[in-house]
Amino acid sequence: MPPGKIYTFHRRKILLVFLICALLLLGLAVRLGFLMLEKSEYYSKKAEDLHERERPIKAARGRILDVNGTVLADNKTVCTISVIHSQIEDGEEVIQMLCRELELSEASVRKKVEKNSSMERIKSNVEKEIGDKIRNYGLPGVKVDEDYKRYYPYSTLASKVLGFTGGDNQGIIGLEVEYDSILEGTAGKILTMTDARGIELPEAGESRQEPIAGQDLVISLDYNIQKYVEQEALRVREQKQADSVSIILLNPQNGEIYAMTNVPEFDLNNPFALLEETQSKLQKEGETDEAQDTESASGSTPAKTAEELEQEALNQMWRNGCINDTYEPGSTFKVITASAGLEEGVVSLEDHFSCPGFKIVEDRRIRCHKTTGHGAETFLEAAQNSCNPVFIEVGLRLGVERFFHYLKQFGVLDKTGIDLPGEAATIMHKQENVGQVELATISFGQSFQITPIQLASTVASLVNGGKRITPHFGVETRTKTGTLTQVFQYPLGEQIVSEKTSETMQYILEHVVSDGSGKRGYIAGYHVGGKTATSETLPRSANIYISSFVGFAPADNPQVLGLCIINHPQGIYYGGTIAAPVIQRIFTNILPYLGIEQDTSELPTEKD
């Protein structure tokens, strides 16, 4: 190639390279200008975030107060201990100090202290005194932040109603979880600046975003009533060596719950500690499972582990039997059968019946609790006697379709809507599967199951004038300074029976207490209405009974209704004998407390 052409060729190559470089530089300049002008704020924030360390500050959880302002759930100041690896100067000193003060294993502390991360939490919910002591060591890289831990001043009081919180201060069970969004508040944070090595810059200081405390929850539960109700429940449980005792006390006019207990209760400040009786039972079950596992053939289902058994025991200990469990109500359900019969007009107070001690329905002979029979009796007397054959007759007169119509109208087949989690539903036969025998057994409270809160709420609705109520605890919310922020509304539901039927039921149930099976619920000077029950659990051959009594006062204008259920009592097990006196003692003490005055004309007079 001639020299001239070679020169021209190289010149073009140089020019091409120059243009490419110029274009690249121009593109780079444009990109740099774009980043500096348009994206400067974005990348400044990113750079700042790289040098900014954030530590959360928990918000103080709202308190739970009873209707009189007594604090049932409060907060206790605790500390969270953390370490920042890049700031630690003497790792061994930090490890030994934390092990000594926090009583932790060296292996677990060393693993966290030597971990190359921005921050490692060593332990939370540390007592403030210990946190202050650790802070006073002044060791670089050790952070002590004040925090809050839930504290229950009365330990076991209403434990299954109040519930408790976890390590993150969030509700686990009970009202704590039901109203968690109101109680939890909004967390804050502490911001510090660090250099490229992750070491805090002392001249930059700290900036704080203060947490917002949760709101206080005021509930209808009354500390004084709850305390007395629990004492009575414990007394009768010990006396009758029962598995458990459940008591509900509510206002039948508006559904406010004054007290609810399921003894044995547990310690809210130590909710993962099993009760002594539960530990003993768990140990026996573990020994049994171990023996069965040893004797079992290869390939059979393995026995449960100790951890699984313990968790099941905890879940059972935390259960609120008043709402989470169902039971066969027995004769207390006759209040519902009677109300339906009166409302439909298939029975009246003056109707006459004859009880030979049994009633034959299809091919079944269904006996009365009095096997010799009650003989001739009116409907009022049948209610006083709790006569099964008469209530079977009322159910049969209604028929399956009308009976189920009233079950739906009364709300028995739905949940009550109580403001507690985990409410169970009524377990009832499907209507299409109910024949005459099933209808007969349902009529006097057998062959199905209902929750205690559903029974109490339904009876309350039938005797309060006929308006369906929603049982509840929540009344209002307030700020910590006492400013009212919200009032919960629970409007009365539909008219489920006429006022006339409701008045008739008040009259019948008052006579049950004054002259019938509920005599042990009678209180001189007060008009008390009520119904007893003694039901048998399945299988019937086990001879395990449930004794119960539902009572209310004053009978002609109910202001308080109580339900007592004693599970598996030893010895005498009749509801009228052992459950009615419990409500009688509770009413005797709380009726004056609630301002319900005695009828002096009903008091016995002294004889000369």
75 by Cβ neighbours in 10 Å (0-12 / 13-18 / 19+) ranks as: buried
Mean pLDDT, residues 464-470 taken together: 97
CATH code at position 365 = 3.40.710.10
* Residue 45: pLDDT over 70: no
Residues 528-580 have pLDDT tens digits of 999 999 998 877 778 899 999 999 999 999 999 999 999 999 999 999 999 99
Query: Whole-prediction pTM value?
Result: 0.86
The SS3 call for residue 358 is strand
Q: Comparing C-alpha atoms, which of 467, 446, 459 is closest to residue 529?
A: 459
The reply to whether 349 falls in a domain is: yes
Q: Do 478 and 485 form a contact (C-beta atoms < 8 A)?
A: yes
Q: How much is the pLDDT for 307?
A: 84
The SS3 call for residue 254 is coil
Q: What are phi and psi of 570, to 5 degrees?
A: -95, 150
* Residue 608: pLDDT over 50: no
* Residue 4: pLDDT over 80: no
Burial of 234-259, coded b for 16+ CB within 10 Å and e otherwise, reads: eebbeebebebbbbbbbbbbbbbbbb
Q: How much is the pLDDT for 524?
A: 93
Residue 457 structural domain: 324-470+492-602
- Owner of token pair 């966290």: 112
The reply to whether 526 falls in a domain is: yes
Residues 296-334 have pLDDT tens digits of 555 555 667 888 888 999 999 999 999 999 999 999 999
Q: Do 512 and 530 form a contact (C-beta atoms < 8 A)?
A: yes
**Average pLDDT of the residues of the chain:** 89
The reply to whether 341 falls in a domain is: yes
Q: Do 459 and 471 form a contact (C-beta atoms < 8 A)?
A: no
Burial of 558-579, coded b for 16+ CB within 10 Å and e otherwise, reads: bebbbbbbbbbbeeebbbbbbb
The reply to whether 360 falls in a domain is: yes
Q: How much is the pLDDT for 41?
A: 66
Give the range among 274-278, 279-283, 353-357, 547-551 with minimum mean pLDDT.
279-283
Q: How much is the pLDDT for 607?
A: 47
Distance from C-alpha of 269 to C-alpha of 152, rounded to nearest angstrom:
6
Per cent of the chain over pLDDT 70 is: 88
Which residues have C-beta within 8 Å of that of residue 510, sequence separation ≥ 6?
527, 528, 529, 555, 556
Element (H, E) at 512: helix 499-515
The SS3 call for residue 75 is strand
Q: Which residue has the higher pLDDT, 528 or 87?
A: 528
Selecting among 82, 159, 220, 331, the annotated active-site residue is 331
Q: How much is the pLDDT for 497?
A: 97
Q: How much is the pLDDT for 533?
A: 96
31 by Cβ neighbours in 10 Å (0-12 / 13-18 / 19+) ranks as: exposed
Task: Answer whether the bond into residue 302 is a cis peptide, omega within 30°.
Answer: no
At 518, is the pLDDT very low, low, confident or very high (cuts 50, 70, 90)?
very high
* Residue 460: pLDDT over 70: yes
- Owner of token pair 């003490």: 589
DSSP string, 255-318: -BEEEEEEESP--TTSTTSPPHHHHHHHHHHHHHHHHHHHHSPTTSPPPPPHHHHHHHHHHHHH
Residues 88-132 have pLDDT tens digits of 888 899 999 999 999 999 999 999 988 887 778 899 889 989 999
Residues 169-223 have pLDDT tens digits of 899 999 999 999 999 988 887 776 665 555 555 555 567 778 889 999 999 999 9
DSSP string, 380-399: HHHHHHT-HHHHHHHHHHHH
601 is known as an active-site residue:
no
Distance from C-alpha of 99 to C-alpha of 104, rounded to nearest angstrom:
5
The reply to whether 538 falls in a domain is: yes
**What are the CA-CA distances from residue 601 to residues 186, 227, 514, 553, 593 (Å)?**
58, 31, 15, 16, 20
The reply to whether 263 falls in a domain is: no
Query: Per the structure, how many domains does the chain have?
Result: 1
The reply to whether 274 falls in a domain is: no
Distance from C-alpha of 258 to C-alpha of 153, rounded to nearest angstrom:
19
At 287, is the pLDDT very low, low, confident or very high (cuts 50, 70, 90)?
low
- Owner of token pair 């399921």: 262
At 429, is the pLDDT very low, low, confident or very high (cuts 50, 70, 90)?
very high
The reply to whether 586 falls in a domain is: yes
Q: Angle 544-545-546 (CA atoms, 0-180°, nearest 5)?
A: 140
